[in-house]
Amino acid sequence: MSPSILRLPYQALAYLSPKHRQDAQWTYRQALANAVLKSGLEIYTGLRINPSLSLKPGHEKRRFVLIEPGNPLLYAGAAHDDKIKPETIGATWYPDTYHVRDYDRADCEYVMLYLHGGSYVLGNGRTLTCRYLTTTLLQNTPCCYILSVQYRLACNKNGRFPAQLQDAITAYSYLVHTLRIPASRIVLSGDSSGAHLALALLRHIAYLKEFHGRKEDDHVSINKALLPPPKCTWAFSPWCDVPAARDPNCWTSSPRFKSEYIPGSFPAWGAQKFLDDLEITEFIEQYVAPIKHPFLLPSPVLVVTGGREVLCEEHKELVQSYRSLPRNESRIEVFVEENVPHDVLMIAWIMNFHGEARTCACQAGKFLLRRETRETNE
């Protein structure tokens, strides 16, 4: 039995007094929900549950689509692996199945590619876990459709890196090359490990342009091997250094650990499975530890963090390191929602941070509109 679950009855009494809560400004429900989440994730990690992913529609019915791997040339560089190969993946549309004809509607502005969180060992992007998050984003941003990717989990067979990067490439290529949605109308977004994956995909997009740009193939072949950058990227509470997370002390030693609902064992397990037997060369480290390797961003990025989450300072450091590169100064920003722990969009409905979640979504939408206005004026 997890030690944290034994503490819950005492915490339930102690939190009656605000001074004993993780944050004195939190309500009783927020404090208790935080403790319950931390205990639940600790138990989940201890049981080493390996959730299976289905390629059947299930409750999502027609909103669930199967996506075949794209052009093999897209899976170059860090996405190429002798053991891990691109596979057919599933994805869920929100609020309904996308139709090409809908794109001509006056109110249909942007399509979002969304990559869920869960330390690469939990989640599937489907309605049960992502309804609240996707609804909040659809209601508070200019996006009218979201494609939520069911990428491979690291705890399953053939699930270590670069499986997730391959799946993100497959999904992005599906939007651009199969559905022919202009990249200038695509928003790339993710939360937690999904935000880490979004940054990896953005780096890969930049890599493909450089890699294939050196070749002398015909123009048509090159175009099929490229992925144009999205309009912008929203990274909600991104994981910044997966290799470091293998040590749970990197998490638990933070002064913000008290107000964090994630136990150190959860990201440690996810990081171990995500990396597994992978040789972490300097090239690979650029993808798995983005905080150490800033790169020239092909399109703007907004990092959203919580003032009470363990990774808050890392998020600020990440943004600062990317701003140090020429041409990146105006391409990356950070927004801090002071009163919340990690990934508020995902847990707002549990911890009753509805207003804060809406604020974060609105800030993402405003970031996009500012960029659009700036480009129009240039």
Residue 192 designated active-site: yes
Q: CA 182, 81, 275 angle in degrees (round to 5)? A: 95
Q: Which amino acid is at 255?
A: P
Of the CA atoms within 13 Å of residue 281, those in its CB half-sphere come to 4
Nearest Cα neighbor of 207 from 317, 80, 354 is 80
Q: What CA–CA distance (Å, rounded) separates 312 from 21?
A: 20
Rg (the chain; Cα; Å): 20
Question: Looking at 2, 192, 193, 237, which residue is catalytic?
Answer: 192
The structure tokens listed for 95 are: 């609020």
The structure tokens listed for 283 are: 């090239």
Alpha helix positions (H), the chain: 3-14, 28-47, 127-140, 163-173, 193-213, 219-224, 242-245, 249-252, 265-275, 282-288, 312-323, 344-351, 354-377
Q: What is the DSSP secondary structure assignment for residue 122, as one 8-state letter? A: S
Strands in 232-236's sheet, in edge-to-edge order, are 64-67, 89-94, 143-150, 110-115, 186-191, 232-236, 301-306, 332-337
Q: What CA–CA distance (Å, rounded) separates 333 from 364?
A: 10
Q: What CA–CA distance (Å, rounded) separates 119 from 117?
A: 6
List the catalytic residues: 192
